[in-house]
Structure 1
């Protein structure tokens, strides 16, 4: 297609992707309270404060939970802003299969047959991995909240602004979701021929150290529980990706023995032959010589006017 047709198709794909996000966002507005209750439930169950006054807390009336937190909203327009933020985040996450498909549909015409198959597999594996990482981040929120609130000074009350909590939850979801995509990236590099399974296996010491260090930096809490909660599953996925790459290398070796696919070009053999096997190139002329004229000393012919020619042609012609 010409460039204008590509731009027009890109516009249509973007309109469909944005439209899907907007539709899910609008639907989420009607279920906003249920969604926000679902997001706050882990923290409220672990460190939520009962409905007591500040004076009762200062007197030690709260015996069950020595350290607790209470969600608060500050400002007149904050409830409306929180509703929009939560609804948009829900729309972006729920509509992920739709806008990922639109992206794939735009790139698919330029791919080979096997590349289309692999790209569908990557999308099909990438979405569950990201969702699994996001759910894992949501599941460790109680432990994260308990550890972070342990630094609270005595005779004080924790007020947890909901916008800050939503930002923290979003960062955790993005970090855990992208971390779970690491094995998929390694598999893509292996299938593209950039790295082999043996090379990935030789990195296991550095990979474990790097994943644990990333878990300590990326997780909001400083406790080892949150660090290993992120590092453990990612390390397991790394070894699964390594095993898949080793099997893929063996499969690729068998396919290479059978030759290229129907829609792929064959590799050219540019290896020079031995000099002794090459026939010498003759110095014979490539054009037939004229039958008239006298041959000059260089092997050409004369035109009768003294102009030297080769094969009946002078330098100009």
Structure 2
């Protein structure tokens, strides 16, 4: 009887889950990679479908995806945009469909990020040590929080930036935005702010591993500040100074928080080393322990004392033997 290939593939996948030490053949790794990628793409597709329908679906009052994304444009002064309803310009027949699909995919990717990120984590985790898994869990958690915080900041900064840019022309110009260019600008701003907020997390992780100590951060602080302002000026797609300053100031504050965390970590590590105690959290799982067990081993190897022999009985006289 021929074997079912789907059953054999599912057995390989289950063996990966039941064998967390990662000891698998190359073929099994490739099967598991295909399985994880298929699930991740499926979650992204489900999120894109939900975002596509959310475009016109008001989950709460004025809570449709299109109105949320149009809010920065609609908040411009009335004299700087066309009169009437707050709408964008469509220049090609399929521009509306493509924009709706693009925005829906972006929103769906954010909403389903825990699901498809878990697939990546499930493929990588079996090859890591326990200590590295703990660091990776913290990294994923704080990275998600920082990315969302950066995206929220960008969403509230974009209206002020647009108002500054549009206000350069005074009342002479009327602003007409193409739908594709406007939504691409919003998505790029959200992405840039979200990724930029990951900088302090990277610094903290490098400090935890000993690659970037606090002394170097302290010496390079001014250079880092200058580089962050240059990065903000280059990375922001708009020409307004408001969004550039908002991104630069936020990154400087987060960088300073990361520096202080590194200072506390290095101070605690130096205190442990000065006290003769070793920080065992930095050791690998398969590294030999440095505990001094020589004295304990010597005590264990000492021969146990022999019990005292009973006292000799006195010699009996000849009369005791006479019956």
Q: How far is 1:183 from its partner?
A: 0.5
Structure 1 residue ranges without an equivalent (≥5): 54-68, 269-317
Indicate conservation of the 8 Å contact 2:150/2:190, yes or no: yes
- In the other structure, the counterpart of 2:319 is none
Q: What displacement does 1:184 show?
A: 0.8
After the TM superposition, which residues 158-177 of structure 1 pair with which residues of structure 2 at under 5 Å, given as runs? 158-177=175-194
Say what the alpha-carbon RMSD is for the aligned residues.
Answer: 2.4
Q: Relative to 1, partners in 2 of residues 1:51 and 1:225: Cα closer, same or farther, differing over 3 Å? A: closer
Superposed displacement of residue 252, structure 1: 4.0
Q: 1:112 aligns with which of 129, 133, 148?
A: 129
- Taking structure 2 as the reference length, the TM-score comes to 0.72
Q: Is residue 73–residue 159 contact of structure 2 (8 Å, CA) maintained in 1?
A: yes
Match of 1:42 in 2: 72
Which residue of the partner structure matches residue 297 of structure 2?
A: none
Instruction: Note closer, same or farther for the CA distance 1:47–1:73 as it changes in structure 2 (3 Å cut).
Output: farther
Contact 2:131 2:284 in 1 (8 A): no
Counterpart contact for 2:82–2:174, Cα < 8 Å: no
Aligned partners of 1:164 and 1:222: how far apart in 2? 15
Task: Give the match's secondary structure for 2:278.
Answer: helix
**Structure ranking higher in helix proportion:** 2
In structure 2, stretches of 5+ residues that fail to align are 1-23, 57-63, 291-323
| Counterpart position of 2:307 | none
User: Which one has more relative contact order, counting CA pairs under 8 Å at least 6 apart?
Assistant: 2
Shift of 1:107: 1.0
Give the equivalent residue in structure 1 for 2:228.
211
Larger CA deviation: 91-100 vs 118-127: 91-100
41, 45, 51: which is aligned to 2:83?
A: 51
CA-to-aligned-CA distance 1:61-91 (integer Å, 9 cap, x gap): xxxxxxxx96211221111111111111111
CA shift for structure 1 position 249: 2.4
Matched, 1:257 2:278: yes
Give 1:1-317 correspondences, 5 Å limit.
1-33=24-56, 34-47=64-77, 49=81, 51=83, 71-152=88-169, 155-253=172-270, 254=272, 257=278, 261=283, 263-266=285-288
Structure 1 residues 131-158: Cα deviation after superposition (integer angstroms, max 9, x where no partner): 1111111111111111221344864432
Contact 1:189 1:195 in 2 (8 A): yes
Distance apart, 1:50 and its partner CA: 5.6
CA distance in 2, matches of 1:207, 1:88: 35
Under a length normalisation based on structure 1, what TM-score does the superposition of the two structures give? 0.73
CA 1:154–1:237 in 2, change beyond 3 Å: closer, same or farther?
Answer: closer
